[in-house]
Each structure stands twice: as structure tokens, then as C-alpha cells.
């Protein structure tokens, strides 16, 4: 609308009406033309004068009611923008003051010395890395230091225990300073996770929202002929709350720790007792049990109702991917997974087994055959395939080492330790094989609690595993024994 252009020009000159010629029509003064030319160019001025003449030739006034309303709107908008600018400038001023205050505090803290106690902050490659510094005044740290220094006084007897309250304090300092690093090691150390795509979420379950299209290309005709129906079966992936409750007797740990450190020839400050407890006692066993739970776990509600009740089995904490596949096979009619060699047992002869794998990969849908995918398998099956292939083709050298690629495909075997003994394998894109972890760092807890002669170690986190879309899963499960009533051989 031309009224908005008129209002904009009037606002530029801060006027409410234009000068008039001898016929009472609005016109631009020479000074106004010059300023408009400097602002928007000669073409704008020429077009504006032309439109102004046309506008008033239709018995409308350039300073009429409609133009005045547009001018009022512009002024109101300008006032609103000015207020927003003022608020933004005030906020910037406040932030600058806070920045100056923080910089002053940082400079003051940099001048303070750090004694043997407490936490040391070292600038790492990112300038924010934190390094835990053990308190060498504590007896258990002194034992380790003196032991490696060859001091006679370093002799330690398990007859007396380490002060549990001191160990609890030291443990808390270590976890606070290294929490993210500890949980990254805790949640990413399983071999199977490298073949999954991780979803970071605070939801207790997630569900696929993307689809695949059946077909979209068609011959042109001048009519609306819709095509491209989406076809997919989204699967729900559940997140499970997991925990560690481990009692540690410090006096026993000290004896183990000294021997371990001597064998590894590490400095005391590189393997202080709390780091040893977490990384050498808890993590190795946790890695082993998580690998199994992620594969063959089946969630069972805990019956514990009070302190001291029996702990749940490691395989009861979550539903593993083999457990999920077994459930999918029990619901073939509603969950369209492609079942490879369906109902056929794997041949005991390794050479014939190689031929069965060739048949299985041929059953993968053609749309997926061009994708590089892993054949997630029982490690024993991969060994059998390698031996059978060597027998069948004795003069063909395996250039892939342990990564066995199936000839004339984009599929490569990967051993998943959690599948060992299952006689199963499955093929799916990595983006379809999901691992869930919690986004909120506050939901990942780790702390210690001293009680009598022991220290209780606590850790909590959320984790889960599953598949995104059923149509992208190509799986083999051994047939259930006749009369077993089982859904599969997992």
C-alpha cells in the first residue's frame, strides 16, 4: 500500500504533510529530493514522485487519514524498537559488569597457592581440564608413596584398616573432579557400543519418527496421481535405570593395590587408591556384565523393598538386543523383521556353513545391499566361517585379518561378545541399532559412603538398547527345540 511508503518518507523528514503546488497537490522540495536521493537513489525519487501524482489524481490526499494511520503505526513501532534496544543495552551493561567481576575473581584465585590438600586445577589442552590431586597427608596415600620410595616404614599390615572417613572424603574429591571422564569410560567401554548409534535423551522410552518411501518416481501425465506411501514399523526403545552398590574393605584393597602398582611400575600419584578402586576393581567387572546385559538381558522388576534385600541379577536390569529379537520373532505377523534362513538350523560342517551365510546375505532386501553394514554375530560363528572359508578356498589369503568380509557384498562380520554361544547373527545399518544414555549429567551419580570398616560405592545412570525400524533388521536366530515352547534359541 502506497500509504506506508508515504508514511515512511514523512517519518524520514519528521513532517506530517508535504508542501503544495499552485494546484494544491503535494510535491517534494528540492532539498527533500536531494536527501531522498542520497538515502535511496534517483530511481526511488522519480518513482515516488510519479506514484504521488497518480495517488492524488484519484481524489486522495497524501496527508489523508490512511497515511496518518500508517504514520502512527511507524512511530509506535519505532518506539517499541527503541525500548527493546534500551533493554538490550542495559542487559549488555550488566553482563559486562559480571564479566569484569569474574575476571577479577579469577586473577585473585590465580595468586592463591594450593597446598598438599584439596583439588588442583591445571589448564589442559582446552584450558578447563581438571586434575585430581591426592592428599598425601592421608595414611593410605602415604603408604603407597613410601612403598615406592623404599622406606622401611612403608610396611603395611592388613591387620589394621584404613580410615574409611578419610577414604570417603578422597573418593568424593576424585569423583567431583573427574566425573564426566569416569562416566564416559563407564558408558562407552563396551565393545558392542561402537557398532550402535547413540541417542542422548532424558525420556524413559523413544520411538522412531522417520520413514522409508515405497516409491516416488512415475511417468508424467497432467493429472494428480499421488505416489510415495511411507512404509515402516517404528519400534519402541526403553531406557532403564541402572546402578552399582559395591562394598569395599579398604584394608583388603591396600594389599591388592600395592601389589598391582609394583607389577605395573606406576608412580603413586598415578594410581592412588580411589582411582584404583574405580578403574581396576569396578570397571572391568562392570564392562563384562554390561556387555552381557546389552545383549541377552531381560528386565525383571526388583523385589527389594528395604536395605539389605537381595540384589537383582546383572541380566535383569534391561532388555538386550537378542532378547528383543526373540520377542520380534514371536510376533512375526505384526513386526516385519526379515528372518534369514528362517527355521533352518546352521550346518555343523564349516564349509556348508559358509554356503548358508551366502544364502542369508542374499535374502537382505536389495535397497540395503549397497550399504556398508555389519553382520553382528556370535564370535564362535565368525571363527567357524573363517575356518570353513579357508578349507573351501585354501589358496585365498584373508587380507582382512579378524574383520571377515563376505565376498561380493558390503557386509563385514563383527564379533559381539554378548552374543557368544547364541548361534545368532543379525544385519542392520548402524543408524538403526540404537544405544540410549541420559542427557542430564545430574542423573549420573557416583559417590561413597563410609560405614564401620567398609566404604560403600554408589553409581546410578540410565541406559538402554534397541532398534529403530523393523523393516531394516535382517536377523537369524536358531530354531527353538521341538516341544520347548521357546521363541528362539537365545
Residues 63-109: pLDDT tens digits?
777 777 777 777 788 788 888 888 888 888 888 887 787 777 766 66
Residue 428 in any domain: the answer is yes
Residue 172 in any domain: the answer is no
Q: Residue 441 CB: number of other CB atoms within 10 A?
A: 10
At how many degrees (to 10) do helices 350-362 and 379-392 cross? 110
Residue 443 in any domain: the answer is yes
Residue 485 in any domain: the answer is no
Q: Residue 372 CB: number of other CB atoms within 10 A?
A: 11
Residue 221 in any domain: the answer is no
Which residues in 59-156 belong to E strands, given as ranges?
A: none
Q: Residue 479 CB: number of other CB atoms within 10 A?
A: 16
Reported pTM: 0.60
Residues of the chain with pLDDT under 70: 1, 106-132, 147-162, 177, 179-180, 184-189, 209-216, 223, 225-231, 257-272, 397-403, 439-443, 481-490
Residue 14 in any domain: the answer is yes
β-strand partners of 476: 425
Residue 177 in any domain: the answer is no
Residue 369 in any domain: the answer is yes
Q: What is the pLDDT of residue 131?
A: 61
Q: Domain span at residue 68?
A: 1-112
Report the run of H or E that residue 445 belongs to, with start and end. Answer: strand 445-451
How, if at all, do strands 26-27 and 19-20 pair? Answer: antiparallel
Q: What is the pLDDT of residue 337?
A: 94
| Cβ atoms of residues 437 and 462 within 8 Å | yes
* Last-in-domain residue among 112, 136, 154: 112
Give the N- to C-terminal CA distance of the chain in Å, as an integer: 73
Question: Grid coordinates representing 225?
Answer: 496421481
Closest CA to 164 of 54, 254, 266: 254
| Cβ atoms of residues 147 and 258 within 8 Å | yes
- Report how far Cα 80 is from the mean position of its chain's Cα atoms: 42
Mapped onto helix, strand or coil, the DSSP state of residue 237 is: strand
Residue with cell 525420556: 203
Question: Grid coordinates representing 259?
Answer: 601389589
Phi-psi bin for 45: left (phi > 0), alpha (psi -120 to 50), beta? alpha
Give the Cα separation of 303 and 362 in Å (integer).
46
Give DSSP secondary structure letters for 54-75: HHHHTT--TTSHHHHHHHHHHH
Q: Residue 157 CB: number of other CB atoms within 10 A?
A: 8
Mapped onto helix, strand or coil, the DSSP state of residue 203 is: coil
Q: Residue 195 CB: number of other CB atoms within 10 A?
A: 15
Contacts of 319 (CB under 8 A, 6+ apart): 238, 240, 297, 298, 299, 464, 465, 466
191 CB-contact burial (10 Å; exposed 0-12 / middle 13-18 / buried 19+): middle
Q: What is the DSSP letter of 278?
A: I
Q: What is the pLDDT of residue 404?
A: 86
Report the run of H or E that residue 428 belongs to, with start and end. Answer: strand 425-428
Question: Grid coordinates representing 184?
Answer: 564416559
Dump pLDDT digits (tens) for 261-292.
655 555 656 656 777 777 777 777 888 888 99
What values do phi and psi take at 457, rounded to 5? -100, 130
State how many domains the chain has: 2
Helices (H) and strands (E) in the chain, counts: 12, 14
Residue with cell 512375526: 332
How, if at all, do strands 240-248 and 454-467 pair? Answer: antiparallel
Question: Grid coordinates representing 469?
Answer: 525400524
* Last-in-domain residue among 86, 112, 138: 112
β-strand partners of 463: 240, 437
Q: Please give the torsion angle defined by the CA atoms of residues 165, 167, 171 and 172, in that order, rounded to the nearest 10 degrees.
A: 20
Residue with cell 535423551: 201
Question: Grid coordinates representing 413?
Answer: 562380520
* Last-in-domain residue among 77, 112, 147: 112
Closest CA to 468 of 235, 212, 294, 213: 235
Q: What is the pLDDT of residue 293?
A: 92
Q: Please give the torsion angle defined by the CA atoms of residues 330, 333, 338 and 339, in that order, rounded to the nearest 10 degrees.
A: 40
| Cβ atoms of residues 466 and 421 within 8 Å | no
Amino acid at each position: 500500500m502506497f500509504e506506508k511508503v508515504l508514511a515512511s518518507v514523512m517519518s524520514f523528514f519528521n513532517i506530517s504533510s508535504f508542501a503544495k503546488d499552485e494546484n494544491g497537490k503535494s510535491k517534494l522540495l528540492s532539498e527533500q529530493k536531494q536527501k531522498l536521493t542520497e538515502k535511496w537513489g534517483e530511481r526511488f525519487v522519480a518513482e515516488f514522485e510519479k506514484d504521488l501524482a497518480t495517488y492524488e489524481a484519484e481524489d486522495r490526499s497524501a496527508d489523508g487519514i490512511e497515511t496518518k494511520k500508517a504514520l502512527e503505526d511507524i512511530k509506535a513501532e519505532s518506539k517499541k524498537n527503541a525500548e527493546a534496544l534500551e533493554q538490550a543495552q542495559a542487559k549488555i551493561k550488566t553482563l559486562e559488569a559480571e564479566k569484569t567481576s569474574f575476571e577479577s575473581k579469577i586473577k585473585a584465585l590465580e595468586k592463591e597457592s594450593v597446598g598438599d590438600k584439596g583439588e588442583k586445577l591445571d589448564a589442559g589442552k582446552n584450558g578447563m581440564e581438571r586434575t585430581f590431586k591426592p592428599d598425601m597427608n592421608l595414611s593410605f596415600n602415604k603408604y603407597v608413596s613410601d612403598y615406592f620410595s623404599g622406606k622401611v616404614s612403608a610396611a603395611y599390615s592388613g591387620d589394621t584398616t584404613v580410615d574409611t572417613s578419610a577414604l570417603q572424603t578422597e573418593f568424593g574429591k576424585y569423583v567431583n573432579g573427574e566425573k564426566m571422564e569416569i562416566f564416559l569410560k563407564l558408558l562407552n567401554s563396551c565393545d558392542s557400543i561402537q557398532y550402535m548409534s547413540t541417542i542422548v535423551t532424558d525420556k524413559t522410552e523413544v520411538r522412531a519418527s522417520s520413514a522409508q518411501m515405497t516409491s516416488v518416481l512415475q511417468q508424467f501425465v497432467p493429472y494428480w496421481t499421488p505416489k510415495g506411501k511411507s512404509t515402516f514399523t517404528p519400534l519402541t526403545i526403553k531406557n532403564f535405570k541402572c546402578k552399582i552398590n559395591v562394598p569395599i574393605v579398604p584394608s583388603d584393597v591396600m594389599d591388592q593395590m600395592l601389589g598391582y602398582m609394583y607389577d605395573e611400575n606406576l608412580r603413586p600419584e598415578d594410581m592412588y587408591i580411589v582411582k584404583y578402586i574405580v578403574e581396576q576393581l569396578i570397571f572391568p567387572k562392570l564392562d563384562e556384565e554390561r556387555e552381557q546385559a546389552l545383549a541377552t538381558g531381560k528386565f525383571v522388576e526388583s523385589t527389594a523393598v528395604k536395605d539389605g534385600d537381595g540384589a537383582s541379577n546383572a541380566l535383569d536390569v534391561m532388555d538386550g538386543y537378542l532378547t528383543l529379537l526373540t520377542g520380534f520373532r514371536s510376533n512375526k505377523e505384526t513386526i516385519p523383521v526379515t528372518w534369514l534362513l528362517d527355521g533352518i538350523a546352521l550346518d555343523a560342517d564349516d564349509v556348508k556353513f559358509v554356503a548358508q551365510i551366502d544364502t542369508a546375505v542374499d535374502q537382505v532386501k536389495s535397497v540395503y545391499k549397497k550399504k556398508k553394514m555389519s553382520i553382528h554375530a556370535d564370535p564362535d560363528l565368525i571363527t567357524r566361517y573363517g575356518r570353513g572359508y579357508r578349507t573351501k578356498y585354501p589358496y585365498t589369503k584373508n587380507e582382512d585379518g579378524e574383520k571377515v568380509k563376505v565376498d561380493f557384498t558390503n557386509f563385514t562380520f563383527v564379533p559381539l561378545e554378548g552374543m557368544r554361544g547364541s548361534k545368532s547373527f543379525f544385519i542392520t545399518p548402524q543408524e538403526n541399532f540404537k544405544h540410549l544414555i541420559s542427557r542430564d549429567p545430574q542423573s549420573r551419580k557416583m559417590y561413597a559412603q563410609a560405614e564401620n570398616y567398609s566404604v560403600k560405592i554408589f553409581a546410578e545412570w540410565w541406559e538402554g538398547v534397541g532398534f529403530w525400524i523393523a523393516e531394516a533388521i535382517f536377523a537369524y536366530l536358531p530354531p527353538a527345540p521341538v516341544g520347548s515352547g521357546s521363541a528362539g534359541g537365545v
